[in-house]
């Protein structure tokens, strides 16, 4: 089993990849939902960082991400533990000693001040943004001014756990829009299509999560809202 299939089952076991009746932030009714706020243990954080690190290393090896990228930025709040756990995993698994930093939601007006924590960005740094799930790309649009305001950095890409493959502000996916607007490539560990293909009639710990009925509902949703 490859790391993608392992990651999908890890999300199910962690109660992060959920199936049922949900409403997305954009008001769409969906049969599946990804709630990364349900990660809550040290073991889960460690494994999550390992999956991110595996995907980053794969993209570095094939030239998608510059091999000399050494900064991970985690947008507050969910991106913060991702940047930290991924930097640890990169060091332990591949000997890549990456710096990490993240922003505060509110600017600090005492002590050292500012709204950045961790590594101090330098001109010329290659920065990889670590996020959980991309839907409309709003978080990235908010992040770019923060990074560019700190130093003249190069954005090496955006790492996310799942690409829902949904349309963003227009008829294209948020990933396509971010690339066309900012030239930033997004690298999901898995896509919702891979989730469907992996879990359809495939039990996880003896339970089938995507049967014929759920598959039909997911395909109808994807046909309506996704760019496949």
Catalytic residue (one of 9, 31, 59, 110): 110
Catalytic residue (one of 107, 108, 216, 224): 108
CA angle, residues 37, 181, 153, in degrees to nearest 5: 75
Kindly state the tokens that stand for 13: 């076991």
**Rounded CA gap, 148 and 104, in Å?**
15
**Rounded CA gap, 116 and 219, in Å?**
41
Going by their DSSP bridges, the two strands 17-23 and 133-134 should be labelled as: unpaired
CA distances (Å), 217 to each of 17, 31, 222, 223, in order?
16, 7, 9, 10
Q: Is 59 a catalytic residue?
A: no
Cis peptide preceding 77, ω within 30 of 0: yes
**Rounded CA gap, 187 and 163, in Å?**
8
First-last CA distance in the chain: 24
Give the catalytic positions in this structure.
Answer: 108, 110
């Amino acid at each position: 089993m490859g790391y993608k299939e392992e990651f999908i089952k890890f999300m199910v076991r962690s109660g992060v990849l959920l199936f049922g009746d949900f409403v997305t932030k954009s008001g769409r009714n969906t049969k599946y939902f990804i709630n990364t706020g349900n990660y809550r243990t040290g073991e889960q954080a460690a494994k999550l960082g390992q999956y991110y690190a595996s995907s980053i290393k794969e993209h570095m090896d094939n030239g998608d991400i510059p091999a000399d990228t050494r900064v991970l930025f985690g947008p507050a709040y969910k991106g913060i533990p991702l940047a930290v756990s991924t930097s640890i995993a990169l060091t332990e698994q591949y000997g890549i000693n990456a710096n990490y930093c993240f922003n505060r939601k509110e600017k600090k007006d005492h002590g050292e001040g500012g709204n950045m924590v961790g590594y101090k960005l330098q001109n010329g740094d290659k920065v990889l943004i670590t996020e959980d799930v991309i839907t409309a790309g709003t978080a990235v649009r908010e992040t770019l001014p923060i990074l560019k305001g700190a130093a003249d950095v190069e954005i090496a890409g955006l790492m996310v756990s799942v690409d829902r493959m949904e349309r963003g502000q227009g008829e294209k996916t948020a990933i396509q829009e971010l690339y066309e607007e900012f030239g930033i490539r997004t690298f999901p560990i898995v896509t919702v299509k891979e989730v469907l293909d992996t879990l359809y009639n495939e039990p996880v710990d003896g339970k089938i999560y995507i049967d014929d009925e759920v598959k039909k509902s997911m395909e109808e949703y994807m046909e309506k809202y996704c760019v496949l």
